[in-house]
């Protein structure tokens, strides 16, 4: 105690001597230093799609993470953000995740997510799954050496609309008017539309285009397709359409309209035919890349990958319901026939 006169004042050297004596006594207090737990890394997962239509993709993504030691809920936290087909939300979702100081950004569900992630940060590592050209989009400098803060998987689903139209013609050769559903808000839409029109001209068939970016336009597009008298439908690759997959399949079934889609999930859920890259496989690879980066790799160490497997799936039960006879040649070319 300090009383102003110096009586009872304990000098620093006296305190040190006292502490030393206590430490040497048999009843010395224990001073325990506990290690602080390491901070759990946070992965920001953003998508233009919805969780309901991404079940297979998410399972594949998590499997890729776990194969390289990153398990959600154990040593990794994942913050999810879903645009549910509303592309205008993507920049805000990306900015929000960057504001949370995530360790890495996973941008799925198409080109819009990847572009929003790129605009949100030039330093946070980004892993993308997209259908367009990442070099033209400014995400990477090259495929083998990405050179920036991003890498990922290009699934090429935007570039095979012409192939899908050709398959649809083989399935319904008697069709006189093909219809196409395209989302003009989807960044690759202009290229999709050009490819479809070129392909239609080559096969000598007219093509009716219906455009939809929201639910009201989707209903109007359905009405326009029926009003035009289309005989067969191609639904362009687009995350918004994926979020409305059930509605689109029900529309085609209700009007007995043969349709081809880009994603195996459509055929599984009752669509006639799908042709496109193995999208869960791309998410599996993205999960691997995210884990490797979290383990210390740099995006430039990981080349941008492209799919080697394309799935051609025929739902034979739907074909029978529509009264369509699938040729043995087409059935033999299919990767999967659902009966």
Provide the terminal-to-terminal Cα distance of the chain, rounded to the nearest Å.
90
Each domain of the chain, given as residue ranges in start order, spans 42-156+279-308, 158-277+311-338
Cα–Cα distance for residue pair 80/105, rounded to 1 Å? 10
In sequence order, what are the beta bridge partners of 24?
none
Kindly state the DSSP code that residue 34 receives in the 8-state scheme: P
What fold, for 158-277+311-338?
Answer: Rossmann fold (3.40.50)
User: Which residues lie across from 70 on neighbouring strands?
Assistant: none
Question: What gap in Å lies between CA 119 and CA 263, rounded to an integer?
Answer: 28
Exposure on the CB side of residue 110, measured as CA atoms within 13 A = 30
pLDDT at 252 over 90: yes
| Mean pLDDT across the chain | 88
**pTM of structure:** 0.82
pLDDT band at 27 (very low <50, low <70, confident <90, very high): very low
Query: With contact defined as beta carbons under 8 Å apart, do 260 and 234 qualify?
Result: yes
Task: Pinpoint the alpha helices (H) of 130-263.
Answer: 161-171, 189-203, 215-228, 239-243, 245-254
**pLDDT digits over 70-110, tens only?**
999 999 999 999 999 999 999 999 999 999 999 999 999 98
Q: Which two tokens stand for residue 92?
A: 């805000």
Closest C-alpha to 226, from 257, 263, 261, 203: 257
User: For residue 126, which of 147, 102, 151, 108 has the smallest C-alpha distance?
Assistant: 151
Domains 42-156+279-308 and 158-277+311-338 share a fold: yes
CB 225: neighbour CB atoms within 10 A?
Answer: 22
The CATH class of the 42-156+279-308 domain is alpha beta
Tokens for 36, please give them: 């602080």
pLDDT (mean) for 168-183:
95
**Angle formed at CA 192 by CA 95 and CA 299, multiple of 5 degrees:** 40
| CA separation for the pair 300, 145 (Å, rounded) | 5
Span 191-212, pLDDT tens digits: 899 999 999 999 899 999 999 9
Digit-coded pLDDT (tens) for 34-51:
444 568 999 999 999 999
- 77 phi and psi, to 5 degrees? -110, 140
| DSSP 8-state class, residue 31 | -
> Which residues of the chain form beta strands (DSSP E)?
42-47, 77-82, 104-108, 126-130, 150-154, 178-182, 207-211, 232-235, 259-261, 273-277, 310-315, 336-338
Torsion of CA 172, 175, 179, 180, to 10 degrees: 30
- Strands 273-277 and 310-315 turn out to be antiparallel
Compute how many other C-beta atoms are within 10 angstroms of the C-beta atom of residue 194.
12
Residue 6 has pLDDT above 70, yes or no: no
């Amino acid at each position: 105690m300090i009383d102003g006169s110096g009586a009872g004042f304990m000098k620093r050297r006296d305190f040190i001597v006292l502490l030393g004596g206590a430490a040497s006594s048999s009843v010395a207090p224990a001073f325990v230093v506990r290690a602080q737990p390491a901070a759990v890394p946070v992965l920001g997962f953003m998508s233009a799609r919805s969780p309901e239509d991404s079940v297979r993709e998410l399972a594949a993504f998590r499997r890729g993470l776990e194969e390289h030691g990153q398990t959600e809920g154990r040593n990794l936290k994942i913050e999810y953000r879903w645009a549910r087909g509303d592309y205008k939300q993507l920049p805000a979702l990306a900015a929000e995740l960057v504001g949370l100081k995530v360790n890495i950004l996973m941008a799925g569900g198409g080109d819009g997510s990847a572009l929003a992630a790129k605009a949100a940060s030039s330093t946070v590592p980004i892993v993308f799954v997209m259908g367009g050209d990442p070099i033209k989009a400014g995400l990477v400098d090259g495929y083998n050496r990405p050179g920036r803060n991003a890498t990922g998987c290009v699934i090429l689903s935007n570039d095979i609309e012409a192939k899908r139209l050709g398959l649809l013609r083989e399935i319904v050769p008697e069709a006189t008017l093909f219809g196409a559903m395209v989302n003009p808000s989807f960044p690759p839409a202009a290229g999709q539309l050009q490819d479809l029109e070129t392909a239609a001209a080559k096969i000598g068939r007219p093509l009716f285009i219906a455009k939809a970016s929201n639910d009201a336009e989707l209903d109007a597009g359905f009405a326009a397709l029926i009003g035009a008298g289309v005989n067969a439908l191609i639904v362009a690759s687009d995350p918004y359409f994926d979020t409305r997959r059930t509605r689109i399949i029900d529309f085609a079934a209700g009007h007995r309209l043969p349709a081809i889609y880009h994603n195996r999930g459509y055929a599984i859920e009752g669509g006639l035919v799908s042709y496109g890259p193995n999208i869960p496989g791309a998410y599996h690879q993205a999960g691997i890349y995210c884990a490797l980066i979290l383990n210390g790799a740099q995006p430039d160490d990981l080349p941008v990958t492209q799919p080697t497997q394309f799935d051609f799936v025929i739902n034979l039960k739907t074909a029978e319901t529509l009264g369509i006879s699938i040729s043995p040649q087409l059935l033999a070319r299919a990767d999967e026939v659902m009966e």
